[in-house]
């Protein structure tokens, strides 16, 4: 999907880190093994420290590529930089355990979502990082996801584990329909964003910096944003 180009505008405040630190204790799906870190070489036995990392790419703060659900979709190394940076909005939606985010929530959100925006949704869930209710998060309805596609946003970022149904609401044949709907048209997804409360209700400049892993369906990312005065 082509998205409208926006006039380049640079935020003039300090950058805010929207990334959760990555570690073996990162909250994760029960299906995923935890990340593993070990030393290939370590001081003082060796003159250098070299860390070995083994991980699923869809844990912690990360970006999903269309390849995640479409075998012929672009991988992380094929996504144009302009899709992962630029102007957007941080909206706050006051949601509770297993609450749905609907079209009305997006329409009423401030600032107004414009074509070509990156949209970051603050539900307050990042404060529950690692808590028992982490996986009982708010989620996007299919109609809300379609509304975002129709409004030609280029990336949707959430402070939850996923924009899809939380684990305990999923039917047996669950197939991640929100992911499929967004990624089919090239609307990227970034999950498990931190610190959105520091920019809520504002238009901001975003930088999503996932690892450029060749042919990969997603990647851990450092995510930054800064506001406009």
Q: What is the CATH number of the domain that holds 68?
A: 3.50.30.50
Q: Please give the full DSSP string across 161-213, using - where no structure is assigned.
A: S-SS--GGG--TT---HHHHHHHHTT-EEEESB--GGGTTTEEEEEEEEE---
Give residue 127's domain range: 16-21+57-227
46, part of any domain? no
pLDDT digits (tens, 9 = 90+) for 125-143: 999 998 999 999 999 999 9
Burial class (CB in 10 A: 0-12, 13-18, 19+), 64: buried
Q: Report how many domains make up the chain.
A: 1
172, part of any domain? yes
134, part of any domain? yes
218, part of any domain? yes
Query: How many percent of the chain have pLDDT more than 90?
Result: 92
**Would strands 85-92 and 62-64 be described as parallel, antiparallel, or unpaired?**
unpaired
205, part of any domain? yes
pLDDT band per the 50, 70, 90 thresholds, residue 229: confident
pLDDT band per the 50, 70, 90 thresholds, residue 9: confident
51, part of any domain? no
161, part of any domain? yes
8, part of any domain? no
Phi, psi (deg, nearest 5) at residue 100: -90, 140
What is the CB-side half-sphere exposure of residue 98 using CA atoms within 13 A?
A: 7
Tokens found for residue 163: 């924009």
Task: Indicate the pTM of the whole model.
Answer: 0.95
Considering Cα of 14, then 76, then 187, then 98, what sign does the dihedral take? Answer: negative
């Amino acid at each position: 999907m082509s998205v409208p180009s926006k006039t380049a505008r640079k935020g003039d405040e300090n950058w805010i880190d929207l990334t959760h630190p990555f570690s073996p204790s990162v909250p994760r799906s029960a299906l995923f093994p935890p990340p593993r870190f070990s030393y290939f070489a370590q001081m003082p036995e060796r003159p250098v420290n070299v860390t070995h990392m083994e991980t699923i790419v869809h844990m912690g703060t990360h970006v999903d590529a269309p390849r995640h659900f479409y075998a012929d979709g672009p991988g992380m190394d094929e996504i144009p930089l302009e899709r992962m940076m630029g102007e957007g909005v941080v909206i706050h939606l006051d949601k509770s355990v297993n609450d749905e985010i609907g079209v009305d929530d997006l329409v009423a959100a401030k600032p107004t979502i414009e074509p070509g925006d990156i949209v970051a949704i603050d539900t307050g869930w990042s404060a529950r990082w690692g808590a028992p209710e982490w996986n009982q998060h708010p989620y996007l309805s299919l109609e809300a996801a379609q509304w975002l596609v129709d409004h030609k946003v280029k990336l949707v970022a959430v402070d939850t584990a996923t924009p899809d149904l939380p684990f305990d609401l999923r039917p047996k044949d669950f197939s991640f329909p929100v992911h499929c709907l967004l990624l089919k048209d090239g609307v990227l997804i970034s999950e498990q964003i931190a610190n959105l409360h520091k920019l809520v209700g504002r238009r901001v400049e975003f930088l999503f910096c996932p690892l450029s892993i060749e042919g990969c369906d997603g990647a851990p990312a450092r995510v930054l944003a800064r506001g406009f005065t």
